[in-house]
Structure 1
Amino acid sequence: MAKIDTTKAAAKAVAEKLAKRNTNNSASSTSATVSNNSTVITDKHIPGLLTLTPDLIPGMMPAFKPEDYRINDPLNPPETLPQASQSQLDKGMRIYEGATRALKLTGAALDLTREKFTVIGKHSKAFGAGIQAATEIEKVKGNYLDYANQKEVTTQKSVVLDVSQVKTVADRNIAIHSKDELNQKLLQAQIKAEDLRLRTVESQGKLASFKAQLGDYLEVKAN
């Protein structure tokens, strides 16, 4: 019996030593704060983010020694078993139930926060889509203004073309009338010249006849 107790004591000492070593290793590799036998672990790379690795679990577990609850004879339980009074049970259960409710409320708050972040993400996406839509609308407005401006330029060119066409028709008609006027002046000049030519011929004929008569008169007078 003494040998069995010695073996239990040795195993207990080894287990406590391993648990202590794991706890020390966890504290050295991860930023941790220990308070009232509870451990809060935060990631050193991402502020505020809780983290958990297997080597940290022992330090987060409540104290429990299964060997303290070993029963060799179920009909004669040893008095060394850990015990609690009824008042301790009632008080402890009230505390644990309250803590459980607190954890449930905390979990619900985290669920609500998660949904809030999800909606914030959706809100950002919707806002971004609105900005993209507004950008496309402004592009369309710019294209419309370019079209309207080009339409005015085209209209102005059309007006200039109409004026040029009217001017061309007017110039053509003026040219026709000017040509006719010049032809009439030329015809009048030709008629005037012909009249003058005929008068000249007539005058020349009269002069010749006068000379002939004058010659005959002089000849008769001489005889």
Structure 2
Amino acid sequence: TTATKTSTTKTTKPAVTTTSSTSNSNGAKLTTSTSQILVPGLSTIDPGEISEMLPQFDASNYDITDPLKPPSNLPQISESDFDAGMNTYQGAIRALKLTGTAFDVTRERFTTEGKKAKAFGAGVKAATEFEKVKADYLDHLTQLETNTQKESGLSLAKSRTQFVQDMATETEAEMTEKLESAKVGAEMAKLQRQDKQSKLDEFRKQLTGEK
């Protein structure tokens, strides 16, 4: 099998502009230009150059006037050259088919890469949505903790208020008791003073002989 090397012409210019001139009925020249976009890395086929790309073949070389008397100048090839040429052409066909299959595989690879990119993009979007929901959930938990702290503060404030109220009540009761005790003490002191005053008056009367 003979390996066939192929070369790809690299294009450095993105476009090629061709200009053509024609003359109208008045003799004036009309200039038209066409722009051909060239894809980097790909060769182009110009329909005007296809004939130059075909194998050389002159049909007139195979003209036969009398089929029973073939002309001696018909193009001929020996069996060995025929077999060698056929082997070369068959090898070239196999090489082209194998190269075409490689391009088919590459096409499917690019298609799969595109699907992979789309799947990755969908995963990124899903991850973004997950993070958004996670952020909302964290905000919810934070708000719960804030509310719990406020509830604890409110409960503590209520306990302090109740404590102050209870202390005020107890203090008021204690002050009332002290006041009552003071009143009783004052009354007892008054009675004791009156009793002593009576005894003193009685004693004075005895001293003066008064009845």
Does 1:188 find its partner at 2:189?
no
SS at match of 2:72: coil
Q: What does residue 23 of structure 2 align with?
A: none
Would you say 1:62 and 2:55 are equivalent positions? yes
**Deviation of 1:100 (Å):** 0.8
Larger relative CO (CA 8 A, sep 6+): 1 or 2?
Answer: 2
Q: How far apart, in 2, do the equivalents of 1:174 and 1:149 lie?
A: 37
CA distance in 2, matches of 1:51, 1:104: 20
1:104 aligns with 2:97: yes
Question: Is 1:171 matched up with 2:177?
Answer: no
Q: Give 1 or 2: higher strand fraction.
A: 2
Unaligned runs of 5+ in 2: 1-5, 15-38
What amino acid is aligned across from residue 58 of structure 2 in structure 1? K
Write the mapping of 1:23-172 to structure 2, written as runs, cut at 5 A.
Answer: 43-44=11-12, 45=14, 46-172=39-165
CA positional deviation for 1:197: 5.5
Contact 2:11 2:41 in 1 (8 A): yes
The CA RMSD measured in Å over matched residues stands at 3.6
Q: CA deviation at 1:62?
A: 1.3
* CA pair 43-68 structure 1, distance change in 2 beyond 3 A: farther
Deviation string, structure 1 residues 180-216 (Cα, Å, up to 9, x no partner): 12222233334444455566777788889999x69x9
Q: Which amino acid aligns with 1:85?
A: S
Q: CA deviation at 1:60?
A: 1.8
- 8 Å Cα contact 2:62/2:75 also seen in 1: yes
Report the TM-score when normalising by structure 2: 0.64
Deviation of 1:40 after TM superposition, in Å, equals: 5.4
Q: 1:94 to 1:198 in 2, by over 3 A?
A: same
Superposition deviation, residue 73 in structure 1: 4.1
| Inter-CA distance 102–206: structure 2 relative to 1 (3 Å threshold) | same
Determine helix, strand or coil for the equivalent of 1:155: helix
* 8 Å Cα contact 2:8-2:41 kept in structure 1: no
Q: Distance in 1 between matches of 2:151 and 2:125?
A: 39
Alpha-carbon distance in 1 for matches of 2:7, 2:130: 56
CA distance in 2, matches of 1:155, 1:161: 10
TM-score normalised to structure 1 length:
0.61
* Residue 99 (structure 1) shift: 1.0
Higher mean C-alpha displacement, 126-135 vs 39-48: 39-48
Q: How many residues align?
A: 180
What is the alpha-carbon distance in structure 2 between the residues aligned to residue 201 and residue 56 of structure 1?
151
Identity of aligned residues (%): 44
Q: Alpha carbons of 1:164 and 1:39: their partners in 2 closer, same or farther (altered >3 Å)?
A: closer
Shift of the 204–52 alpha-carbon distance from structure 1 to 2, 3 Å rule, reads farther
Between structure 1 and structure 2, the one with the greater Rg is 1
